[in-house]
Homo-oligomer: A and B are copies of this chain.
Amino acid sequence: MKKLLIASTSTVHGKDYLEYILPELSEFFKGIHEILFIPYARPGGITYDEYTAIAQKGFDKINLKVRGIHEFKNHFGAVNSAKGIFTGGGNTFLLLKKLYEMKLISSIKNVVENGTPYFGTSAGSNITGLTIQNTNDMPIVYPPSFDAFGFINFNLNPHYLDPDPTSTHMGETRETRINEFHTLNKIPVLGLREGSWLNVKGDKVLLKGELNARLFQKTKSPSELPPETDLSYLMKL
């Protein structure tokens, strides 16, 4: 049975990296001593080693060892023997392109579908949806496809932002962008605010954290969903 924690962000304002979600992570990775870190979305200017060290620092607080996939000679072997997987944030286009290049899409998909716990933040969460078409990221590289893992049967918009009523900026709001997506696509999109996450067990999906999420569906008005909302029905659409 697949098990995922799909978080909007790694960090909420005023707290350390992963701090806000450590109690949940501790429970999620219970009994596991080491997880595999996928640093491929790494933001500019730091190495995979440095990014892995940041992840390690976050997980130190719950005594979990983190090893970057780049440390392994055989990355397929690393995935297959991993007890848990964490994919960090950065740029979603870059992450997806690298996963395709490394031919890791099907191997990660396979282990996660078969029960290896998967934790993602931001870009690492975007790729758990059907496609990355609702990312906020800049298309700094061209991936061979926008299709992603599809562990959930909908798409995510992490770091969801409400329109600022005082803004004089004429660029599209997040809601406008997602509505435009729905003029051409029917995949539901869940706007996950920073501090929210999804807990997925098989086809059961629960909204966690203290904030509402905003659900966008083609031909429907957006709806505000409170914490603990059961989103499992989206897996069957």
A212 lies within 8 A of chain B by Cβ: no
A136 lies within 8 A of chain B by Cβ: yes
Nearest Cβ distance between residue A158 and chain B, in whole angstroms?
Answer: 8
Given A135-B139, A139-B132, A184-B141: A169 in contact with B179 (beta carbons within 8 A)? no
A103 lies within 8 A of chain B by Cβ: no
A161 lies within 8 A of chain B by Cβ: yes
Given A133-B138, A142-B146, A184-B140: A170 in contact with B179 (beta carbons within 8 A)? no
A146 CB contact (under 8 Å) in B139, B159, B178: B139
Question: With the chains together, A141 CA to B147 CA distance in Å?
Answer: 11
Docked-complex contact A180 and B135, CB < 8 angstroms: no
A31 lies within 8 A of chain B by Cβ: no
Question: With the chains together, A211 CA to B211 CA distance in Å?
Answer: 38
Q: How many residues of A contact B (CB 8 A)?
A: 43
With both beta carbons as reference points, the residue of chain B lying nearest to A8 in the complex is identified as B170
Nearest Cβ distance between residue A17 and chain B, in whole angstroms?
Answer: 10
With a CB–CB cut-off of 8 A, which chain B residues contact A94?
A: 184
Question: With the chains together, A12 CA to B169 CA distance in Å?
Answer: 8
With a CB–CB cut-off of 8 A, which chain B residues contact A45?
A: 179, 183
A44 lies within 8 A of chain B by Cβ: yes
A61 lies within 8 A of chain B by Cβ: no
A145 lies within 8 A of chain B by Cβ: yes
Given A146-B139, A180-B44: A168 in contact with B9 (beta carbons within 8 A)? no
A135 CB contact (under 8 Å) in B14, B138, B183: B138
From A132, A141, A172, A177, name the one whose CB has the most chain B CB atoms within 10 angstroms: A172
B-contacting residues, A3-55, CB 8 Å: 9, 11-14, 43-45
A171 lies within 8 A of chain B by Cβ: yes
Nearest Cβ distance between residue A197 and chain B, in whole angstroms?
Answer: 14
20 contacts between A and B (CB under 8 A): A9-B170, A13-B168, A13-B169, A13-B170, A43-B172, A43-B176, A44-B180, A44-B182, A45-B179, A45-B183, A90-B180, A91-B180, A136-B138, A136-B172, A138-B177, A139-B139, A140-B184, A141-B184, A159-B169, A161-B171
